[in-house]
Amino acid sequence: MIHYSCDRCGRLIHPTRHVRYVVRIEVEADFGSDEPVDDDHDFLEELDEYLSQPGCDTGEPTPSSRTYDLCADCYAKFIGNPLGTAKASLDFSSN
């Protein structure tokens, strides 16, 4: 039997008594080019020539993806503030 633990708090997530929330995060760079696309231009050939040059480095970061297992409590905290911003985590007193 596979045992999971919460990647945030470390609590054991029982396979039949607890719900395991799987969070998949994928990050990729978007350079947002607004240049019009020339349909007649052979971009594949141009890219092939560029990549065949010695020491070629596109300089672009590769996409990154990660997967996390969360318990119910940590999932509730995550979904309430997925980016972990300070504004969402402020607790105001009643006075």
Residues in touch with Zn ion (CB under 5 A): 6, 8-9, 11, 71, 74
Nearer to Zn ion, 5 or 50 (CB): 5
Q: CB of residue 13 vs Zn ion: minimum separation in angstroms?
A: 8
Nearer to Zn ion, 11 or 20 (CB): 11
CA 21 – CA 83 distance, rounded (Å): 17
The token pair that represents 84 in the structure block: 């972990």
Q: How many CB atoms lie within 10 A of CB 17?
A: 6
Concatenated DSSP letters for 8-30? TT--EE-TTTSPPEEEEEEE---
Nearer to Zn ion, 22 or 51 (CB): 22
Q: CB of residue 32 vs Zn ion: minimum separation in angstroms?
A: 36
Q: CB of residue 65 vs Zn ion: minimum separation in angstroms?
A: 21
